[in-house]
Each structure stands twice: as structure tokens, then as C-alpha cells.
Amino acid sequence: MADAVRVRRLLTTARGVLFLTTLGRAPLAQAGPPPLREAEPLPLVRAAELPRRPVELVPRAVISLSSCASGVEEARCEALGPSLGGELLALYRPTPYFAFGGGLSYGRAAGSLPSAELSAEALSFTLAGRVYLLEEGMLDPYLEALVGWGRERTTFLPNATSAESRRAAAGVKEQDAAFGPFGRAGGGVDCLVGSSVKVGFVAAYGQLVFARGESCRAGRCVAGSAPSGSVRGGITVGVGASVLFGQSL
């Protein structure tokens, strides 16, 4: 009898445990599998910061210090002051790192000696190439090379104190000219102040190479090697603005 009671209690306990176990699992079964997580959107492509443009028009104001050749008339060249002038470049930039184009420049200098007044003019036509160092951002540094043709002319006019003597001196003025292939190399940094405008500066050294020349005395000109009184080149420093055109690179 006692065994039957013991067995009945064990069965009752087992039924209770089974019931509680089933009751605890029921909510999980009813909930089902967790929902699938929606895919996150791909990150947006970041627009380039101040991107470059393919066409640049570059006007500059420049100042140059003359480089003189040694010779008997070297003092004439050395008496000239800094040359003031301007440049204009047009560049096509097919990639952010390279551009090519062409340009022209003109400069004028003045000076004096105890016996005369001096003036000089320089003109050049060049092809231009640039290598840029950054493809985006506010700063746009570059290396620049110009190759073309240049001409320089120095005029030596004796001092005169009256109108009559100035007319007489005009007939005895002397001119030295040098011309030939011209090259210049340097670099600069531009700063973008908007999507289509840059401002910056450039520093470079230029030189006439294999130059020929001409000397004119009292109306008679003799061609030959470049005279020692002529300017052969010099150091150039300039500031300017670039106007940009076209779609962003």
C-alpha cells in the first residue's frame, strides 16, 4: 500500500514538472524565429572637395631681376632695375595631375648710368607644361616649365638737358638685342577661393639659350652673337588669378 502511494506521488510530481516545462516553452514556440534584419544602405560616395576643372586661364603680374652676361658692356645690363610686366597662360588639364598649354609674357625695365638713360623690353611666346601635386583640396601646388622663343632689347640713350640736344641724342642712341630659344622652370601654389577661381604665386628662373643678337650704333645694325649689354634671363616672381572652366575632373 505504501509503495502504491509512493508511486502515485512520483507520477504526480512528474506530471507537474512536464506541465511547467511545456508552459515555459510555449511562448518561445509561439514567437517563432526572429525576423530577418533589413540590409543597411550602402554609404554614399563622398563628393571630391574642391575638385579640379579642365580649362584654366591664368593672368599674372610679374617682377623679374635681370641676369647679365659678362663682357665689356655688362654695366649697362647691371644698371637696369627690376622688370615689371605681365603674363597670360591658357592651360588644358585632362587629369588632376597634368596640364599643358601656351602663353605669352611682356616686361619692361628702366635704369640709368651717369652718362645715359637705359630701358629694356622683353617679350616671349612659350608652350607650357605643369605637374600638379594634389588632386583635390583648397591648395593646388604645381611644378611648371615653359619652352619657346624670347627677345630682349636694351636701349642706351645719352643724357641731354635740352629739347635740341635730346633730338640730337636720339640719332646716336644705341640698342642691343638678344633673341633665341627661351626656357623657364619653377613652381607655385594656388589657393581655391571658389569652385571656379584660384589665386596664387609663382617663382621661376628663365634664360635665353643659344641666343643670337644685334647691336645698333648710330642707325647701323650688326647681327652676330648676343651683346654683353643685353639681358639673357633672370629670376621671376609673380602673383595672379586663375579662372576655371568645364566640368569637375
For the residues of 185-232, what is the DSSP string, one character each? EEEEEEEESSSSEEEEEEEEEEEE-S-EEEEEETTEEEEEEPPTTSEE
Whether 202 contacts 36, CB under 8 Å: no
| Percent of the residues in the chain that have a pLDDT greater than 90, as a whole number | 40
| Percent of the residues in the chain that have a pLDDT greater than 70, as a whole number | 76
Cα 233 to Cα 150: distance, rounded to the nearest angstrom: 10
Note the pLDDT of residue 235. 93
Q: How confident is the model at residue 162 (pLDDT cuts 50, 70, 90)?
A: very low
Reduced to 3 states (helix: H, G, I; strand: E, B; else coil), residue 110 is strand
Note the pLDDT of residue 170. 52
- pLDDT for 5-59, tens place per residue? 565 666 666 665 555 555 555 554 455 566 666 667 766 655 556 778 999 999 9
Mean per-residue pLDDT for 153-167? Answer: 65
Residue 60 pLDDT more than 70? Answer: yes
Averaged pLDDT score across all residues of the chain: 81
Q: Where are the domains of the chain?
A: 55-245
Note the pLDDT of residue 8. 65
- pLDDT for 66-84, tens place per residue? 887 777 777 777 888 899 9
Q: How confident is the model at residue 163 (pLDDT cuts 50, 70, 90)?
A: very low
Whether 245 contacts 57, CB under 8 Å: yes
The residue ranking higher by pLDDT, 209 or 6, is 209
- pLDDT for 120-157, tens place per residue? 899 999 999 999 999 888 999 999 999 999 999 888 88
The class level of CATH for 55-245 reads mainly beta
Cα 186 to Cα 236: distance, rounded to the nearest angstrom: 9
